[in-house]
Amino acid sequence: MENKFKYSDDNKRYHTLTYYYKKKFNTKVCKVSLNANFTCPNIDGKVGFGGCIYCSKLGSGDYAGNPKESLNEQFEKGKEMMQRKWPNAKFIAYFQANTNTYAPIERLKECFEPFIERNDCIGLSIATRSDSITDECLDYLEDINKRTFLIVELGLQTIHEKTSKLINRCSTLNSFDNMVKKLKQRNINVVAHIINGLPYETEEMMIDTVKHLNDLNIDGIKIHMLGVLKDTPLEKYYQKHKFHILTKEEYVNIVVKQLEYLNEEIVIHRLTEDPKKDDIIEPTWLTKKFTILNEIDKIMSTRDLYQGDMIKEKKKNE
């Protein structure tokens, strides 16, 4: 069946990041993950201790650079590796590990400004929390956005308060919603992170999280599957309670339904987690990233589904 989705150049039936970058920059774009050795207010005691229960000791920076190396060294190594496959690519500096606005402005400038000035770096992607962007930081982000391409990635994970307390997120849905609005008022691109398969959440709850994001005018989304990693609080919780871990088939079907409920203009930055084989306890199928992506494509094609179908259907019936 011919693909008629307007935000994809290949067989994808959702708004691919590759398509978005190609249209915006007219070239292949790669993100180089960096570790600026920031901490997190959920680790140092400002709002909580121990971090979110699923985070490793690297604070969501398992694929970021080595914090013992300078940011420039980390960038050069990541760039060199990617250029072997894409020699003409451009690069985005991705500040990934921990909370990358949780520091004084001068420290943020020391980290961000060198990459704004690089000719081979076309933008910044900054991962952070909604409770860790001060008004002064907002002003600085607005200034950055005027000088280079900027994405601010905000961790939401779920809209459900009971789950939020269980995973020790230590921030509220209201905080997230308000920060998205503040960033969008300054024309800053916002990407939201969510996690499927959190303990005791139903399919309906996961879909409700996506529906909520639809109303916030976000620009992109990252959808993860919960992975139980070694040496995390989640590992201990799982060993004690043995909550249900989604099967690959369950996960794929939930993601397909979430895509149906997502506005077609929202860019899909990620559709699955990608853990290291030696780190993952459950689910082991999570290490087969491309199998998961292929299954999503197969179901959407077989059922003739596209991103945003449920929104269009709702409008027809209004």
Does the residue 312 lie in any domain?
Answer: yes
Q: Which residues of the chain have pLDDT under 70?
A: 1-3, 57-64, 318
Cβ atoms of 43 and 53 closer than 8 Å: no
* Residue 157 buriedness (CB in 10 A; 0-12 / 13-18 / 19+): buried
Q: For the chain, where are the alpha helices, taking DSSP H only?
A: 17-25, 71-83, 105-116, 135-147, 161-166, 173-185, 203-214, 233-241, 248-261, 289-302, 309-317
Does the residue 88 lie in any domain?
Answer: yes
| pLDDT for the residue 312 | 85
In percent, the amount of the chain with pLDDT more than 90 equals 81
| pLDDT for the residue 66 | 86
Does the residue 151 lie in any domain?
Answer: yes
Q: What is the pLDDT of residues 67-117, one digit of tens each?
A: 889 999 999 999 999 999 999 999 999 999 899 999 999 999 999 999 999
Does the residue 8 lie in any domain?
Answer: no
| pLDDT for the residue 146 | 98
Closest-CA residue to 17 (of 201, 266, 189): 266
Does the residue 246 lie in any domain?
Answer: yes
For the beta carbon of residue 32, count every other beta carbon within 10 angstroms.
24
Planar angle of CA 50, 196, 31, nearest 5 degrees: 75
| pLDDT for the residue 45 | 79
Does the residue 109 lie in any domain?
Answer: yes
Q: How many domains does the chain have?
A: 1
**184 HSE (CA, 13 A, CB side):** 16
- The rounded distance, in Å, linking the Cα atoms of 227 and 213 is 22
**275 HSE (CA, 13 A, CB side):** 23
| pLDDT for the residue 61 | 53
Q: What is the pLDDT of residues 103-161, one digit of tens each?
A: 999 999 999 999 999 999 999 999 999 999 999 999 999 999 999 999 999 999 999 99
Cβ atoms of 228 and 281 closer than 8 Å: yes
- The rounded distance, in Å, linking the Cα atoms of 171 and 133 is 13
Which is it for the CA torsion 81, 7, 177, 162, positive or negative? negative
Task: Report the CATH number that the domain containing residue 169 is assigned in CATH.
Answer: 3.80.30.30
String of b and e for 222-252 (b: at least 16 CB within 10 Å)? bbbbbbbbeebebbebbeeeebebbebebbb
* Structural domain boundaries, residue 127: 17-317
| pLDDT for the residue 60 | 54
Beta bridge partners of 123: 92, 149
| pLDDT for the residue 56 | 74
Q: Is the peptide bond before 283 cis (omega within 30 degrees of 0)?
A: yes
Does the residue 240 lie in any domain?
Answer: yes
Does the residue 5 lie in any domain?
Answer: no
Residue 183, both tokens: 């960033």
Q: pTM for the complete prediction?
A: 0.94
| pLDDT for the residue 124 | 98
In Å, what is the CA distance from 9 to each residue of 16, 108, 259, 261?
9, 37, 18, 21
Pairing of strands 90-95, 121-128: parallel
Residue 304's region, left for phi above 0, alpha for psi from -120 to 50, else beta, is: left
